[in-house]
Amino acid sequence: MLRDFLARLPLTDRITFATELVSGALYGVFSGLALPLIPIVARRIGMSAEAITLMVTMQFVGALFGILVGHMADRLPKMLFAVWPSLISRALIGLLAFAARPGFYLAVVSAFNLLVNLGGPAYGSIMRSNYSDANRGRLMGNIRITIVIVAALFSAFAGLLLAVNENLVRWLFAVAALFGVLSSLAFGRIRVRRGPRPEFPPEHSSFAASFRSSFRVVRRNVPFLLFMALMFLCAGPDKMSIPLEPLWLVDHLRINYGEASLVLGTVASLASIAGYVIWARALKRTSSFTVLALVVFLFAGRFAALGLARSTMGLIPMSILSGLSTAGWDLVPIFCMISLAQRDTFSLALGLNTTLFGIRGIIGPALGTLLASSGAIPLQWIFILIAGGIAVGGALMLLFSRRRKGVRAEAAARAA
């Protein structure tokens, strides 16, 4: 069946997909074994709320450099920036096998988070160049379905294993790191299709001059900048919950390792499988901006369900909505940016999005910690407040989508 499916694809699509499929399966093992456990282990070994805030904020500090990395990916081989940050960051997770104290654990996870987002602009640009427009949504969706199926299986395996012996958690981190490194090496075997490279005049040959030239192109793209502002509204409030969720899950709901792997890992992964299928099909039938608005509304529901949960079983609706919305956030925004950003500065545009992601991530956790420590609002109501803010962003994204449809219809009428 897979052979017949591959045979119908264009050559570059077929080769890229087959290689990325192997990389995705290996990443699924890494993800399923390690990622759901990282915040739970942090709290269990005595890490303070402030330390958790610092740990998770480092991924946003690293993301601040996204705009520079994106520009370099427009000028240099993209694969350098797609592979090395992911390879180093995943290898670092193996050091958690030796992390018995909060200080060392904090240092390792902070380094992992610092690097984890830097490959995003280059990866998105490779997906644009190597997958055809007609097949991109389906192929990217299939890769992610593979990842979450493998992650769900290994997350369930980890949960069962830890239910027998919680001390095995350190070995799981070591095994996960090995598979994460193999995933990065497999992805590095993809041959990037070369498009026309941006040409800079002699006076723009330096990095600083070419960056200013490229950034001016992005800055003049008003629809793209407006979309970035809307993304800030839709994907900003949730960052307040990052240091608060471990406190809610561990201190209030008393979740254990096995429950974390099964409910937060397996259930969410299975829901995301459905999400990738739904969003990939929706992208063929309607505007990517309308699809993104629907994703945002489900994302708001995720935080409302989290705030209303009173037991581990009560987290199941949250996990389902989390899987659906996470699949949407992973797949849909890049299609929105493809329709808005110019090809020769596409990595830079993705890098700007990554940098804004970093800014949101630095401000949000600090606000969340400040709000929780003040005692002005109970913890569960902070999640409800977050849900309301995200829903407002979703409504504005829907208006943006309708406005773009109107502009396109008007342009088509003029052309006729």
Mean pLDDT of the region 6-33:
90
* In-domain check, residue 133: yes
Q: Which residue has the higher pLDDT, 353 or 186?
A: 186
Residue 416 has a pLDDT of 47
Nearest alpha carbon to residue 28 among 186, 258, 164, 163: 186
What element of type H or E holds 9? Answer: none
Residue at 96 is within a domain = yes
Number of domains in the chain: 1
| Confidence class for position 298, pLDDT limits 50, 70, 90 | very high
pLDDT in tens, 30-81: 998 998 888 888 878 888 877 887 887 888 898 888 888 887 777 778 898 8
User: Which pair of tokens denotes residue 352?
Assistant: 């700007």
Q: Give one DSSP letter per residue of 15-53, joined into a string.
A: HHHHHHHHHHHHHHHHHHHHGGGHHHHHHHTT--HHHHH
Sorting pLDDT into bands at 50, 70 and 90, what band is 1?
A: low
Q: Express each pLDDT in 68-99 by its tens digit.
A: 888 777 777 889 889 999 999 999 999 998 88
Q: Which pLDDT band holds residue 219 (cuts at 50, 70, 90)?
A: confident
CB 356 within 8 A of CB 231: yes
**Burial class of residue 272 in the structure, from the number of CB atoms within 10 Å of its CB (0-12 exposed, 13-18 middle, 19+ buried):** buried
Provide mean pLDDT across the span 141-157.
87
204 pLDDT band, cuts 50/70/90, is: very low
* Residue 71 is assigned to a structural domain of this protein: yes
**Sign of the four-CA dihedral 291, 292, 293, 295:** positive
In a domain, 288, yes or no: yes
Distance CA 346, CA 341 (A): 6
pLDDT at 203: 47
CA 133 to chain centre: 21
Whether 112 maps to a domain, the answer reads yes
d(CA 76, CA 78): 6
Task: Report whether pLDDT(411) > 70.
Answer: no
pLDDT tens profile 306-336: 999 888 888 899 999 999 999 999 999 999 9
- As given in the structure block, the two tokens for residue 230 are 């809307």
Element (H, E) at 394: helix 379-415
Task: Find the mean pLDDT for residues 200-208.
Answer: 53
pLDDT of residue 413: 47
Does the residue 204 lie in any domain? no
Would residue 35 count as lying in a domain?
yes
Torsion on CA atoms 199, 202, 206, 210, rounded to nearest 10: -40
- Averaged over 288-317, what is the pLDDT? 92
Please give the pLDDT value at position 394.
95
DSSP letters for 185-253: HHHTTPPPPP-PPPP--GGG-SHHHHHHHHHHHHHT-HHHHHHHHHHHHHSSGGGGGTTHHHIIIIIIS
Would you say how long the chain is, in residues? 416
User: How much is the pLDDT for 198?
Assistant: 52
Q: Is residue 257 part of a domain?
A: yes
Residue 290 to residue 299: CA distance in whole angstroms: 14
Residue 244: pLDDT band (50, 70, 90) is confident
> What pLDDT was estimated at residue 208?
66
**Which of 42-51, 245-254, 301-310 reaches the highest mean pLDDT?**
301-310
Q: Which structural domain, as residue segments, surrounds residue 236?
A: 9-190+213-415
Q: Which residue from 267, 149, 122 is spatially nearest to 141, judged by alpha carbons?
A: 149
Cβ atoms of 323 and 305 within 8 Å: the answer is no
What percentage of the chain has pLDDT greater than the value 90? 35
Domain CATH for 228: 1.20.1250.20
Residues sharing a CB contact under 8 Å with residue 109, sequence separation 6 or more, in sequence order:
38, 42, 55, 58, 96
Asked if residue 153 has pLDDT above 90, the reply is no
Our CA dihedral for 62, 63, 64, 70, rounded to 10 degrees, sits at 120
pLDDT band at 348 (very low <50, low <70, confident <90, very high): confident
Which comes out higher in pLDDT, residue 192 or 412? 192
CA separation for the pair 394, 294 (Å, rounded): 7
**pLDDT at position 162:** 84
Query: Quick one: tokens of 159?
Result: 């949960």
CA angle, 227 as apex, 330 and 395 as ends, to 5°? 85
Phi, psi values for residue 292, rounded to 5° = -65, -40
